[in-house]
Amino acid sequence: MRRVAFLGLGNMGIGMARRLLAAGHGVAVYNRSPGRAAPLVQQGATAAATPREAAAGAEIVFSMVGDDAASRHMWLGRDGALAARTAPRAFAVECSTISHRWIAALAARARGQGLRFVDCPVTGLPDAAAAGRLTLFLGADKADADALAPVFAAIATEVIHFGPVGAGNAYKLIVNLMGSIQIAALAEGLVTAERAGLDLGQVVQALSKGGSASPQVVRNAPLMLRGRHAEDVVFSGKWRLKDTAYGLAHARAMGVASTMGAGAAAAFRLLVADGTQHQNESKLVDAVRARDSRQR
């Protein structure tokens, strides 16, 4: 069993940390809102006051947070995990969906501290995290990926090793940008169907069986139809816009204009403009309705 630090106990991180505890690892946890750690402490975790304290003596340090700024908070500074005295040749595992520029900078900083760095974004919703059914997109040296495989087995049913550090992050940004485009297209399609006088319940049912039935469409179409976007928020418009912006920046850095990605980003910015970015990403359908009503 390994000594693990887990930084970030949001909807995804808390389930992942709990799975590591259940697998018998010694887990120290840190979250900026300390109350989130209480259920894990009851199950045997150790609560830390800072990321540095959590990472002290750790063999593996996981981070699972919302964006670049939160990742920097976890790793950098006097109280950051990179300031800790970890176990020799410890692993730094960044599971957050962050920008490609920051993943490269973070990898360089971690390696400069003698850590083995792995970029490890995940796919799956909070229920998958709680059940240990995530898919991991790995960017790592093969030897490091192999060494971590027994630990990853506690949190994931599939690990896809895309290549060296940065490759997992690159794939995650690509696939999330594609997901944003699909959700934006779905919202516009449903509003168009509504204007055409079609029964939206029938449209949603048909979409779930048709050629456009991507997982994003299948998941979000019933939510858009139901319309209760503030209930049971799983993935908010705020985080969808963040992922879209990071994916768009990466595409452009690769020399790809991504006009469809830019359109999706513009659509999700509507949620920020109307103050509903903390609701489910499915709220986009209402923002599209409002936008197009103003233009009529």
Active site residues: 172
User: What angle, 0 to 180 degrees and rounded to 10, lies between the N-to-C axes of helices 68-75 and 100-112?
Assistant: 10
Residues recorded for the chain: 296
List of residues 6+ apart from 90 with CB closer than 8 A: 58, 59, 60, 61, 115, 116
> Under DSSP, is residue 63 helix (H, G, I), strand (E, B) or coil?
strand
List of residues 6+ apart from 159 with CB closer than 8 A: 135, 136, 138, 145, 149, 152
Is residue 76 within 8 Å of 101, Cβ to Cβ? no
Q: Which helix (H) or strand (E) holds 271?
A: helix 259-273
Q: Which helix (H) or strand (E) holds 136?
A: strand 134-139
Assigned token pair, 177:
């940008």
Q: Which helix (H) or strand (E) holds 61?
A: strand 60-63
User: What angle, 0 to 180 degrees and rounded to 10, lies between the N-to-C axes of helices 237-253 and 100-112?
Assistant: 80
Closest by CA to 189, choosing from 168, 162, 220, 160, is: 220
Strand partners, 116: 91
